Amino acid sequence: MDEFDFLDEEEEEIVEGEDGVKLAEIYKLTMKLIRLLEDLKSVELKESASLMLIRELIGEDKVLLGLASKMLQDISLRSDGEDYVS
């Protein structure tokens, strides 16, 4: 998988320069965190760690809070095919 495969192909957005490097590093670290979460044997620890990450990412940002709430609602209601873009 290429480091930038997560970009929407329809938009053909190319992230260049310093932001591109930062985005690639964020993606790499995110994948590492996901692998570490999957390796946890305790479901309670997985849930706690996941919620901690969400809380840290959202912080006080009301837009991100709304987006995360919408995504979680869609996931819980099995709504597929939703795109989440800012």
- The Cα–Cα gap between 85 and 8 comes to 10
User: What pLDDT, on a 0 to 100 scale, did the predictor assign at position 1?
Assistant: 45
pTM: 0.58
Per residue in 23-40, is it b (16+ CB within 10 Å) or e — as a string? eeeebeeeeeeeeeeeee
The predicted pLDDT at position 86 comes to 47
Task: Compute mean pLDDT per 10 residues along the chain, 86 residues long, and list them.
Answer: 51 70 93 94 93 92 92 77 56
